Amino acid sequence: MKIIKTVCLLTIASILLISCGSKSDKKEIASVDPTTIYIKGTMDAELTAPPFVPAPVGNRSAKKLIVNMEILEEEGTMTDGVKYVYWTFGGSVPGSFIRTRVGDEVEFTLSNHPDNKLPHNIDLHAVTGPGGGATSSFVAPGHKKTFSFKTLNPGLYVYHCATAPVGMHIANGMYGLILVEPEGGLPKVDKEYYIMQGDFYTKGANGEKGLQPFDMNKAVKEDADYVVFNGSVDALTGDNAITANVGETVRLYVGNGGPNLTSSFHVIGEIFDNVHIEGGDMINKNVQTTSIPAGGAAIVDFKVDVPGTFIIVDHAIFRAFNKGALGMLKVTGEEKKRVYSGVKQEGIYNPEGGTIQTMPEDKNKKKVVVHSGEKPLAKKIADGKQVYMKTCFACHQAEGQGIPNAFPPLANSDYLNADVKRAVGIILNGKTGEITVNGKKYNSVMTKQTLSDEEVADVMTYVYNSWGNNKTNVKISTVQEVKNGH
């Protein structure tokens, strides 16, 4: 009888366990489908400039979240005496911090200020949809676009401009972070800050004074003049340093806009208690340095136990001390000798500047002049098409039709056909300001192209012999005449 009772009890227990497990599984499956989360009410999103973040979502219900963001192209300071024209989301680099929760329905309006020169859009890595929203948000100066999306996955995500040339838009500061908190919010901490790394490429060398334009050639080579936090060399130092008190917990939302370089993010004198790897669910503990890829992010938490100035760096160390990737966390409060005791020397960690030593050039060295012969017309057109598809296609499109309100057409273009040398000069030197093409006004920017004389002749010959244009065969000698001011 005891054996029978024992078997019966074990059988009942097994049934109960299977039943409970089944119910639990069903509940878990239902809870992880964010598309079914009920939207309750509407609210305007709080947007903040770095290094600050909006208030935590806490236990609020999912809502229709209204986000209004304006694109501004404006001059700012890279470092003392060095100016740069930044392209921004919300007037700051990085752009405004957006804080949501899983299940929110975000109604996003992107406005392009009428004084801007270029069209832009936004690709949010938190968006599940074509282009991360980029295909729905392409907007010319003086216009705005509205689209919506559901936040499906909790995490910390990068957003950036994805208008051609994409690398140039990102390199000029068009990136930021959007946080999607889980239901119930993230664990509470005492202080939260927003830090984002970016690499910048200027015509002048590091520290060269004046207004410095973007250098595409350096960007392609990934040869950064500045690697900085929050858009400039001093954005997180001195009076701009972030702060905390002894005993407080600090959370840093860290992103990397790139466009090229991976960040080795480190706080000198601290160990990260928790790191949300790549901004996702997986948490690593007791981390010294965390790797953040271009277009990626991480959430790092730590407790500050002793007072002092803690230096924030990209531990690819020349970037920190020579290119600007250096910030400060100033902690105040009582000393704790059991944790740290020793002589404190202020100012040991300072930027060392960007001076680069080079060997002197031989002034007697003769320059080699390469003379290129003219190719047959058919060969020039074929080669020119290859240059066009690599260099011009994104803005002017496959059939030279351009993009309305943004990039003028090359097809059957009265402006182009009226003056060949003017057109060649625009490729060689770039162009900014208003022009009229086929009766429509365009006020955009044509960047200077880094092409050889032969490539300029080839691509212009291809354009002139396509899409109803005047069939000019542009000679290398013509390109050289324009280059020499004739």
Query: How many residues can be counted in the chain?
Result: 486
Say what the pLDDT of residue 431 is: 86
Exposed/middle/buried for 32, CB within 10 Å: 0-12, 13-18, 19+? exposed
Q: Which H or E run contains 253?
A: strand 249-258
Half-sphere exposure of residue 66, counting CA atoms within 13 Å on the CB side?
4
Say what the pLDDT of residue 392 is: 82
396 is in an annotated binding site: no
CB atoms inside a 10 Å sphere around CB 429: 12
The angle formed by the CA atoms of residues 128, 132 and 134, to the nearest 5 degrees, is 150
174 is in an annotated binding site: yes
Q: Where are the alpha helices (DSSP H) in 183-269?
A: 216-221
Q: Do domains 43-332 and 377-483 have the same CATH topology?
A: no
CB atoms inside a 10 Å sphere around CB 130: 10
Say what the pLDDT of residue 395 is: 79
CA-to-CA distance for 175 and 160, rounded, in angstroms?
4
Say what the pLDDT of residue 2 is: 44
CA-to-CA distance for 180 and 191, rounded, in angstroms?
18
CA-to-CA distance for 49 and 91, rounded, in angstroms?
8
125 is in an annotated binding site: yes
Say what the pLDDT of residue 351 is: 65
**Phi and psi of 389, rounded to 5°?**
-70, -25
Q: Which two tokens stand for residue 234?
A: 């001093």
CA-to-CA distance for 212 and 75, rounded, in angstroms?
10
255 within 8 A of 176, measured Cβ to Cβ: yes
Query: Closest by alpha carbon to 415, among 428, 429, 391, 431?
Result: 431
Say what the pLDDT of residue 352 is: 62
Say what the pLDDT of residue 137 is: 96
pTM here is 0.75
DSSP state of 26: H
CB atoms inside a 10 Å sphere around CB 304: 23
Top CATH class of 377-483 equals: mainly alpha
Give me the residue spans of the domains in the chain: 43-332, 377-483
113 is in an annotated binding site: no
CA-to-CA distance for 157 and 180, rounded, in angstroms?
8
pLDDT tens, position by position, for the chain (486 residues)? Answer: 444 444 344 444 443 333 444 444 434 434 558 888 999 999 999 999 999 999 999 999 999 999 999 999 999 999 999 999 999 999 999 999 999 999 999 999 999 999 999 999 999 999 999 999 999 999 999 999 999 999 999 999 999 999 999 999 999 999 999 999 999 999 999 999 999 999 999 999 999 999 999 999 999 999 999 999 999 999 999 999 999 999 999 999 999 999 999 999 999 999 999 999 999 999 999 999 999 999 999 999 999 999 999 999 999 999 999 999 999 999 999 998 899 986 655 555 566 665 444 545 555 555 544 445 789 999 999 998 988 877 787 678 888 898 887 788 999 999 999 999 999 999 888 888 889 999 998 887 787 777 899 999 999 999 999 999 999 999 999 999 998 887
CA-to-CA distance for 351 and 357, rounded, in angstroms?
17
Top CATH class of 43-332 equals: mainly beta
CA-to-CA distance for 229 and 277, rounded, in angstroms?
20
Query: In the block, which residue shows the tokens 């097809």?
Result: 411
Query: In the block, which residue shows the tokens 């960040």?
Result: 263
Task: Please list, in sequence order, all residues whose beta carbon lies within 8 angstroms of the beta carbon of residue 73, skipping any fewer than 6 positions away.
Answer: 85, 86, 87, 88, 113, 115, 116, 117, 118
